[in-house]
Amino acid sequence: MGMLEAILLTVFTAATPLLIAAMGELVAERSGVLNLGVEGMMIMGAIAGFAFAQMSGNPYIGALGGMAVGALFSLLFAFLALTLVTNQVATGLALTILGLGLSGLWGEAFVGIPGVKLQPVVIPLLSDIPLIGRLFFAQDALFYVSIALVFAVSWFLFKTKAGLTLRSVGDNHHSAHALGINVMRVRYLAVMFGGACAGLAGSHLSLVYTTQWIENMSAGRGWIALALVVFASWRPWRILFGAYLFGAITIMQLHIQALNLGDVEFLPGPIYGILSLLKSIPAQFLSSLPYLATIVVLVLISRNRRLTLINTPAMLGQGFVPDR
């Protein structure tokens, strides 16, 4: 039971930044904007969260700082891609490269310095329930924020007039403009929300997941968050499932590498045999499993054209100029 609880706790921790970043990107893409700079905004949020927490001594200020830097960084993308109507794919890739470079420069002064950990929020009595107590009632604040985001984004997109407006912009920005909707304002706000979520996800990495600054510590999680949006067919609740699935894949390969087969001899023969086989696989291959899973999922989804198009915003990645 103790081993199972430890594994599930690490899965929850690994899934949280993926879920937060993917929810932000979902809102941006629903407005018709394809921002491939999630990785860059995440790493900037990670260094900002670490730096602000280190300087203030308060991890919550660090998390807010990560959000702010992520949102400001997304404004650069918005100005280039929306106002200047540059290619969104190329601009997003440039944003990622810029974020990786700037974070390394900014974070050089913080290498090797212990961070300020965001402590769990323990709910009395409920946290004492066996197994589920620590999983659901003794987690860090960002875990609860990630779950609340799923409810909030789902409600906003499908139950509010503002959500309908945002989706209409993503489906046909020309018609939305003809009806008097300020397409640019809607998209700017959606991109900033996505940037704030990516920055918050990055700050989770440096305040909870690993309480120190390590260059390139986002390690491709921004790309996985992007894949999650497609995997979920632009639906919030499917992103929740996908984030925990990818989080489990990420964590299980670490546990398999550290597994002592002598501790699990009590397991049924077939399960023990599978674990033995996995244990014999090179660690480098196991470390690549989350990224291989991302590729496999995208290939499988792309084979089903109907599934791909069913919820895809029609204007995704297309620039908008009001006078045309």
The pLDDT value given to residue 291: 76
The pLDDT value given to residue 191: 97
The pLDDT value given to residue 266: 56
The pLDDT value given to residue 138: 87
Distance, in Å, from the CA atom of 284 to the CA atom of 148, rounded to the nearest integer, reads 35
The pLDDT value given to residue 259: 62
Distance, in Å, from the CA atom of 81 to the CA atom of 74, rounded to the nearest integer, reads 10
Pick out the chain residues at pLDDT < 70.
1-2, 255, 257-281, 283-284, 286, 301-302, 304-305, 307-309, 324
Q: Which domains does the chain have, with CATH numbers?
A: 2-309 (1.10.3470)
The pLDDT value given to residue 28: 96
Q: What is the pLDDT of residues 219-254, one digit of tens each?
A: 889 999 998 998 888 989 989 998 998 888 888 777
- Which candidate, 72, 267, 307, 266, places its Cα nearest to that of 188? 72
183-204 and 141-159 are packed helices; what angle lies between their axes, rounded to 10 degrees? 160
Distance, in Å, from the CA atom of 122 to the CA atom of 31, rounded to the nearest integer, reads 37
Per-residue HEC secondary structure of the chain comes to CHHHHHHHHHHHHHHHHHHHHHHHHHHHHHCCCCCCCHHHHHHHHHHHHHHHHHHHCCHHHHHHHHHHHHHHHHHHHHHHHHHCCCCHHHHHHHHHHHHHHHHHHHHHHHCCCCCCCCCCEECCCHHHCCCHHHHHHEECHHHHHHHHHHHHHHHHHHHCHHHHHHHHHHHCHHHHHHCCCCHHHHHHHHHHHHHHHHHHHHHHHHHHHCCCCCCCCCCCHHHHHHHHHHHCCCCHHHHHHHHHHHHHHHHHHHHHHHCCHHHHCCCCHHHHHHHHHHHHCCHHHHHCHHHHHHHHHHHHHHHCHHHHHCCCCCCCCCCCCCCC
Distance, in Å, from the CA atom of 252 to the CA atom of 246, rounded to the nearest integer, reads 10
Q: What is the pLDDT of residues 269-286, one digit of tens each?
A: 666 566 666 666 676 676
